[in-house]
């Protein structure tokens, strides 16, 4: 007699509500031995100030400009921006097979702290709140420009996720057109509102809070969950409990609550393998294009690559690149492991 299907043991597919795409979950593969590549763990300590760091206060940047002696946060135009505001307009379509469009935009670097040795997980709450306020200010300012269609805030944390400098910082890229991933989310959220009469991510969060098995950490205004459709092993989705279309919608107390939840979530990450946990994170909010966007719900994605330890990562190769994303650890198992972690940072205990 065939054993009943158990999603904690048997291969299955899960649908990503935000993109409409599917992922493959193969939980039985967690039992396989690992003989693949291992990474070098990040250094245990860094200096508070590094004279060779191009993001530290008072230092010369790679482009030749000198940073001010900033004491909290600092924003500057990226010296090697991927987008330029002065790109000539134009399209190229020699036939149906070869199409291109000129794209304009603005790229900035956002320094979270003058301290070279800190991360968001180890910053004081008032300083994290300054980062939240700075994110909000950047979205508000750039969204008001008529040539901007979308503002993307993000942070690459750690060399494993491509960060070229350990100084605590993120980036903001503002583009004329809506990029691919937010465009998928725009379509899915719009379709859900039209069919169900409510924002997709509000209904989804309420369902997650009711189920409970994928909730990692929460407070009165925010919750972080391992999404049902998570691809990365310890991926999380950070959501406000009420309808907010972008960061500027947040009340002062919600910004305080966000600062609290960010520190708690990132502390949990660091405690999991007792390392400065690498990740790519980013905020998705409503487009800057004119018109009403009631279907949009503000949220942040955290995509950490670590799988089994501080030196063993998840690779997106082969089947993931050619067919569909695949994961071994189920979302429920990942959330349980994260919930078990202490919320005081391992370096402070």
List 24's β-bridge partners, or say none.
Answer: 13, 326
| Nearest CA among 205, 188, 191 for reference residue 21 | 188
Contact 11, 26 (CB under 8 A): yes
Collapsed DSSP state (helix, strand, coil) of residue 184: helix
| Backbone φ and ψ of 85, nearest 5° | -75, -20
Q: How many C-alpha atoms does 319 have within 13 Å on its Cβ side?
A: 8
Cα-Cα end-to-end distance for the chain: 51
* 30 backbone dihedrals φ, ψ, rounded to 5°: -65, -15
Supply the DSSP symbol for 180: H
| Integer CA distances (angstroms), 324 to 21, 207, 318, in order | 9, 26, 9
Separation between Cα atoms, residue 209 and residue 137, nearest integer Å: 30
* Backbone torsions φ then ψ of 92, nearest 5 degrees: -130, 115
Q: Which of 169, 246, 284, 301 is catalytic?
A: 169
Q: How many CB atoms lie within 10 A of CB 102?
A: 11
Quick one: tokens of 88?
Answer: 């000539």
Cβ neighbours of 336 (radius 10 Å): 14
Q: Which of 115, 246, 95 is nearest to 172 (CA)?
A: 246
H-assigned helices in 251-300: 252-273
* Active site (annotated) includes residue 345: no
Which residues are identified as catalytic? Answer: 169
């Amino acid at each position: 007699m065939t054993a009943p299907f158990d999603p904690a043991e048997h291969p299955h597919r899960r649908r990503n509500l935000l993109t409409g795409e599917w992922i493959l979950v193969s939980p039985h593969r967690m039992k396989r031995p690992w003989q693949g590549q291992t990474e070098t763990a990040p250094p245990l300590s860094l200096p508070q100030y590094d004279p060779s760091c191009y993001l530290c206060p008072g230092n010369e940047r790679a482009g030749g400009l000198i940073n001010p002696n900033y004491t909290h946060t600092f924003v500057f135009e990226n010296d090697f921006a991927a987008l330029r505001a002065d790109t000539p307009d134009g399209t190229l379509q020699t036939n149906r097979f070869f199409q291109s469009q000129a794209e304009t935009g603005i790229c900035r670097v956002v320094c979270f702290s003058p301290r070279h040795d800190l991360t968001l997980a180890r910053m004081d709450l008032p300083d994290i709140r300054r980062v939240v306020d700075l994110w909000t200010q950047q979205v508000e300012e750039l969204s008001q420009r008529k040539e901007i269609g979308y503002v993307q805030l993000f942070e690459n944390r750690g060399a494993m996720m491509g960060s070229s400098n350990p100084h605590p910082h993120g980036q903001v890229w503002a583009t004329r057109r809506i990029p691919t991933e937010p465009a998928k989310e725009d379509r899915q959220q719009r379709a859900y509102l039209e069919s169900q009469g409510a924002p997709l991510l509000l209904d989804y969060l309420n369902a997650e809070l009711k189920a409970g098995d994928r909730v990692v950490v929460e407070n009165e205004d925010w919750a972080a969950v391992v999404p049902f459709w998570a691809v990365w092993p310890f991926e999380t989705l950070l959501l406000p409990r009420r309808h907010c279309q972008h960061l500027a919608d947040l009340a002062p107390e919600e910004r305080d609550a966000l600062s609290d939840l960010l520190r708690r979530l990132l502390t949990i990450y660091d405690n999991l393998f007792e390392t400065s946990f690498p990740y790519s994170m980013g905020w998705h909010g409503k487009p800057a294009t004119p018109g009403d966007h009631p279907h949009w719900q503000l949220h942040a994605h955290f995509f950490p690559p670590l799988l089994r330890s501080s030196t063993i990562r998840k690779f997106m190769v082969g089947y993931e690149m050619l067919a569909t994303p695949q994961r071994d650890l189920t979302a429920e198992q990942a959330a349980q492991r994260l919930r078990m972690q202490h919320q005081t940072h391992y370096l402070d205990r």
